[in-house]
Amino acid sequence: MAMLPFYIPLLIATVHAQKRNMPGSCTFESSTCGYTSDPDFTNWMLNKDESFISVGPGLEDQDGLEKRHNWEERREGKERPQRKDRAVLVGPAISQEDWSCLRLVYQLSGLSSLQVQQRREGQSFDTALWRTQTSSDSWLVSSIDLKNSTDPYMIVIDSRPDENTGSSVAISEILISPGYCLECDYEDSHLCGYSNQWNTNVNWYRGGGAAQDPQSHLPVDHTLGNGTGYYMYVDSIHAKTFKEIAKLVSPVTTVPMSGCLSFQFQRGGEQGNLFSVYTRDQAGQYQELWKADSGDQNLSDWAATTSEWRPIQVDIKAPYPLQVVFEVGFNSPRGGYVALDDISFTPEFCTSETEPIFDTSIANCDFEVGFCRYTQDQMEGSPWKRVSVKPNVYRTGDHTTGTGSFLLAHSRFKRSSGYISRLLGPLLPGSMKYCLRFHYSLRGFINTEHALIVYLQDQSRITNERIWTQNDKSRGVWIATDINFQSPQATRVVFVSTCINFWDCGSVAIDDISVSLGDCDFTAGFQLSVPGHCNFEKGQCGYTQDKEGDQGDWVMMKGPTPTSYTGPTGDHTSGGGYYMHIEASNMLPGQNARLLSSPLRGSRGLQCLHFFYHMYGSSTGELCVHLSKDGKDSLLWKRTGEQSITWLRAIVEYQSDQQHQIVFEAIRGSSVRSDIALDDIVFESGPCPDIKVKRISHSPGNSNDIE
């Protein structure tokens, strides 16, 4: 097979220090180490030369199936129907109280995807740790941090090869070792997932070992110190142009972390090279952590000799996915060398003076119990009002629940010609990258040019920088917005709505403001999609139609439904995305449509299901949620008739100690004005939180109920 050669290159050669590998590790050389295929899906196969496992139609030779080992054990000897679009590998139970690092050596071809998950006892859904769709002609290494835990868990690897394109997925090694994924002593040939960013003339190489040239000017490694150990180095001997750069890049951090990064280094020919350490986010933005120079306090106690390893400690903050980059620049072929060894990490900062990662949650607000830390500038204009809308068929409720509170400006409570409403957020530290997310809704505007603008305001409240202006048409639906911003000094976010002429203005609503660190496009790296959460933006998440028990279908939809005066005008997630709905015009009165979840594992504890539903239309029928097991349905929740023109949140608590499915059943009403829709379905382990919102008193004019 061309894609997967039957040898393992240096990158993934057998690990020298096997004693450091923890339970759950496997090289697949002679066994599968307790990893088994989930019987509900396609089997993983142990390759005939017993060096890796694989799955996918592209792996089948003419006689390969007879020679490969099918190591799946069927329950009680019964064959079960298998889903051919997935292959799920389940590892042995692991219990580890200390932080550890999982390194996966893998290869994808064609249109395949691979996801690593964590499975805990008593939970119906697995937690996603890492995901990729990157195909390659060679083996790749992924490093995944595993937080310390006292509860046992299993590693689950979910592969989805595309049958129609001959795609395949292979895994050569699963290595779990103690410590953080940023740490490395380079004794193992997989380099802990570190990679050299290739340059024509200067590159990082793995040096040392017993075969090292005794005449070499390069050092003995720091870890072992006896000439047999390894390290990374870069030499200027092939440098051709001024300031040629060599970069050694760490694995991407997969969980938020902060602390002290330590390493050892040597420099030869210090006047001819520059050695720096940076962090690099997924948007490609660099931030300097440290730079070696003659005035560096860390080096002041060391002699000028280059034969000694020098220890360095730098504080690092990684609240979102980052890489550490060790960068060396040369100015000539006589620029010397730089060697690096023994990178380590501790979760405590190097110095007590370092400030902890800023908690951005102080800027989050759903306005259910007040204005949070937001204030108003009432020197001029009209204030934002905190209002709530009772479910009705005329006005949209809040975004959080459909029945809660939000902020409203230009509500025409005052008939004044021209006014400004300003909402000021809490002060945020400077020199940090932020992602601002919020939902807004416009209603009744003729000219929306100044309807809503977002500014950054400095601490003195003198300087204002515009960072966003809305450009959507007024349509009475909640629109999600993401804004990236960064300022060298402390700043606050200010929402400004301006009404120049009363007759041109309508109302502006804001809800669910949140601020996080990092780039909006990449912070989702820490928030991978999981089977228990579905907003239908990337498909149906395993939900399927009941082909035997209904007469209609649930259909994915974007925008308004075809029939007027029924159905939503946009989805709940963003206002411009997808949702599931039944189109009443394609069904007869009384006909039903059943949407089935994927099979869910049982749990001894309570489970919480919450979702958003839309039931608007004068002849709306019925929406039910059932628990289905052993071929029987049990009713969990039910709504009948028209409910509201807005999306409403439903919360359902249930328990099932055996495998089951959740069924969303919609029944068509007496006329075509009976569309029903679903969006943002979420399953969570444990009892549902108390959903009663404590109402606090507000001064007159700041809280209103709108019928």
Domain regions of the chain by residue span: 10-178, 191-346, 360-524, 533-685
pLDDT value at residue 188: 87
Query: H or E element: which one contains 66?
Result: helix 64-67
* 360-524: CATH topology: Jelly Rolls (2.60.120)
Q: Taking residues 382-410, what's their average pLDDT? A: 91
Query: H or E element: which one contains 64?
Result: helix 64-67
The residues, ordered by sequence, that sit 6+ positions from 95 with a Cβ below 8 Å of its Cβ are 150, 151, 152, 153
What phi, psi does 80 have (nearest 5°)? -120, 150
Cβ atoms within 10 Å of 323's Cβ, excluding its own: 20
Tell me if 70 sits within 8 A of 184, measured CB to CB.
no
Predicted confidence (pLDDT) per residue in 591-620, tens digit = 999 999 988 988 888 999 999 999 999 999
CATH class assigned to 533-685: mainly beta
10-178 architecture in CATH?
A: Sandwich (2.60)
- The whole-angstrom separation of Cα 408 and Cα 335 is 64
pLDDT value at residue 50: 63
Residue 693 banded pLDDT, cuts 50, 70, 90 = very low
Q: Is the dihedral of CA 551, 556, 560, 562 positive or negative?
A: negative
Residue 703 banded pLDDT, cuts 50, 70, 90 = very low
- How is residue 649 written in tokens? 């949140």
What phi, psi does 573 have (nearest 5°)? -60, -55
Closest CA to 612 of 452, 439, 436, 483: 439
Q: Taking residues 492-517, what's their average pLDDT? A: 87
Predicted confidence (pLDDT) per residue in 617-660, tens digit = 999 999 999 999 988 999 999 999 999 999 999 999 999 999 99
What percent of the chain stands above pLDDT 70? 83
- The whole-angstrom separation of Cα 244 and Cα 164 is 45
Residue 69 clears pLDDT 60, i.e. is over it: no
Residue 705 clears pLDDT 80, i.e. is over it: no
List own/partner pairs for 487-491 with CB under 8 A and 24 or more apart. Answer: 487/430, 487/431, 487/456, 487/458, 488/430, 488/431, 489/430, 489/431, 489/458, 489/459, 490/427, 490/428, 490/429, 490/430, 490/458, 490/459, 491/427, 491/428, 491/430, 491/456, 491/457, 491/458, 491/459
Residue 381 banded pLDDT, cuts 50, 70, 90 = low
The structure tokens 């069927």 sit at 74
* Nearest-5° Cα angle at 241, 236 to 242: 85
- The whole-angstrom separation of Cα 398 and Cα 406 is 6
Mean of the per-residue pLDDT values of the chain: 84
Predicted confidence (pLDDT) per residue in 191-227, tens digit = 999 999 988 889 999 998 766 655 567 788 899 988 8
- The whole-angstrom separation of Cα 617 and Cα 644 is 9
Closest CA to 172 of 203, 206, 142: 142
* 506 or 586, which is more confident: 586
Closest CA to 643 of 599, 612, 665: 612
Query: Which CATH number applies to 191-346?
Result: 2.60.120.200
Side-chain-side CA neighbours of 95 within 13 Å: the count stands at 4
- In the chain, the N- to C-terminal Cα span, in Å, equals 68
pTM over 0.75: yes
Asked if 360-524 and 533-685 have one fold, the answer is yes
The residues, ordered by sequence, that sit 6+ positions from 215 with a Cβ below 8 Å of its Cβ are none
DSSP 228: S
- The whole-angstrom separation of Cα 592 and Cα 567 is 16
Query: H or E element: which one contains 67?
Result: helix 64-67
- The whole-angstrom separation of Cα 341 and Cα 489 is 36
Q: Taking residues 271-286, what's their average pLDDT? A: 90
Q: Which of 346-350, 392-396, 505-509 has the highest mean pLDDT?
A: 346-350
Encode 83-128 in three state secondary structure: ECCCEEEECCCECCCCCEEEEEEEEEECCCCEEEEEEECCCCCCEE
The residues, ordered by sequence, that sit 6+ positions from 690 with a Cβ below 8 Å of its Cβ are none
Closest CA to 510 of 495, 530, 527: 495
Tell me if 218 sits within 8 A of 207, measured CB to CB.
yes
- How is residue 184 written in tokens? 């490395």
DSSP 507: E
pLDDT value at residue 638: 97
